[in-house]
Structure 1
Amino acid sequence: MHLQPTLFDHPLPITSELIPGLLYLPEFITPLQEQDLLARIDQHPWDTSLKRRVQHYGYRYDYTTRNVSPDSWLGPLPDWLFSFSQHLHQQSLFQSPPDQIIINEYLPGQGISAHIDCIPCFSATIASLSLGSACVMEFFNPSIKKRIPVLLEPRSLLIVSGDARYQWLHSIPARKTDLYEGISFTRNRRISLTFRNMIIHHKG
């Protein structure tokens, strides 16, 4: 899969003064790259133990304990995910290539509850690539009681670090339509790829 060589080929990144540490990169990949990724993802088996289907790569995340262990290593990333992880690192979006990836399928009406990604498990930067349908993700800061919607468009990359990573919960409301800046749109099938780096705690 050919990747765009530099961030300068993309539309200008968008930052949020309201959510420090949030970076939004629209059209991070091309429509052809999106279709290639979707085809590759659907060639792999899905885990159906949750209400939504998921795939785990690198390390398996335990939704029961909300934790991930070095013992849960699943083996090397497939080539297509390895090259994308390398690309994120080469663009200086990560200090090292992400080694833990979760792929989520969201059908219309499905969502995910408000949460902060496991702090002891994962490092300071997390990225999410959106494929297929657009949706609205809500960020909520309980200390200031503020809720902010963020539109995630197809082919966009959302990056959270700093306050956006550690102070703001994020969620996707379980609904079939979204309203954003006065415009209502119907959700279709959406695939998200979440890229993270494991924090390995060595014993002894």
Structure 2
Amino acid sequence: MLPNSIKIIPEFICPDEEIFLAKKLRQFVVQDEFDPTGLTYFCFREFLETSTEEVDKLLFSISNRIKDQGYCRSVRRHCSIVFYLPGGGCRPHTGRNSVPNLNLSLLSPAVLEFSLGESRVPLLMQPRQLTVTDGDALLVWKHEIPYGKVDAIGGAKFPRGERMVILFREISDGEDI
């Protein structure tokens, strides 16, 4: 069973917003130097209310929606963008601080796996889904996207396509990103 400090909000953005974000943000990502497979690309972006770029205006609007719907206390003005080619993933890790993770999935599904000791619990991340991870799910349970070209959950198989995740971040002064 999934830790109870995870909230899943399907269809948080509309398909047109997803297509626009994926197209615009893809041009900013560069190969992740920490990924030995070469299948993961990354960038960090700051967006402000006063920005004139359409992609930043949309990121700010989505961040406002997240706050207005009660998933965080303040509007986030920073995001990490991770772009995965088919087969790409991320290693097991826990959160670095107690600020909730706000992940917006784009383009194709993938399984996010939570583990605690021998317990493993998969969560299918669908396109346009917002996943809020907090508390034990963030700080105690490890989470990862296993490397592979096909995800399986509940007997169903999902071939992986290109995938993007936007992690809305709260950055403290002097924090290493």
Q: TM-score, with normalisation over the residues of structure 2?
A: 0.84
Whose strand fraction is larger, Structure 1's or Structure 2's? 2
Percent identity reads: 30
- Pick the aligned partner of 2:89 from 103, 111, 117: 111
Counterpart residue type for residue 112 of structure 2: M
Which residue does the alignment assign to 1:161?
134
Change over 3 Å in CA distance of 1:57–1:92 after alignment to 2: same
Matches within 5 A, 1:57-72: 57-58=45-46
For residue 201 of structure 1, report the CA deviation from its aligned partner.
6.5
* Residue 192 of structure 1 pairs with residue 165 of structure 2: yes
- Residues 162-184 of structure 1 show CA distances to partners (whole Å, capped at 9, x for unaligned) of 11111111100110001110011
Counterpart residue type for residue 55 of structure 1: C
- Pick the aligned partner of 2:123 from 147, 150, 174: 150
Q: Which runs of 5+ in 2 are unaligned?
A: none
For residue 47 of structure 1, report the CA deviation from its aligned partner.
2.1
Which residue does the alignment assign to 2:6?
22
Counterpart residue type for residue 160 of structure 1: T
Alpha-carbon separation, structure 1, partners of 2:152 and 2:143? 17
Which residue does the alignment assign to 2:74?
96
Structure 2 SS opposite 1:174: coil
CA RMSD of aligned residues (A): 2.0
- Residues 113-170 of structure 1 show CA distances to partners (whole Å, capped at 9, x for unaligned) of 0001322xxx52111111111000100123xx31100000111111101111111111
Change over 3 Å in CA distance of 1:49–1:179 after alignment to 2: closer
Counterpart residue type for residue 187 of structure 1: R
Alpha-carbon separation, structure 1, partners of 2:20 and 2:115? 33
Q: Which runs of 5+ in 1 are unaligned?
A: 1-16, 59-74
Change over 3 Å in CA distance of 1:178–1:81 after alignment to 2: same
Structure 2 SS opposite 1:53: strand
Matches within 5 A, 1:15-54: 18-42=2-26, 44-50=27-33, 51=38, 52-54=40-42
- Residues 74-125 of structure 1 show CA distances to partners (whole Å, capped at 9, x for unaligned) of x747322222212211111111112331111111111100001322xxx521
Q: Which runs of 4+ in 1 moved over 4 A?
A: none
Aligned residue pairs total: 164
Structure 2 SS opposite 1:92: coil
For residue 55 of structure 1, report the CA deviation from its aligned partner.
1.6
Greater Rg, structure 1 or structure 2?
Answer: 1
For residue 27 of structure 1, report the CA deviation from its aligned partner.
1.3
For residue 40 of structure 1, report the CA deviation from its aligned partner.
2.1
Structure 1 SS opposite 2:31: coil
Counterpart residue type for residue 159 of structure 1: V
For residue 196 of structure 1, report the CA deviation from its aligned partner.
2.0
Counterpart residue type for residue 15 of structure 2: P
* Residue 138 of structure 1 pairs with residue 116 of structure 2: no
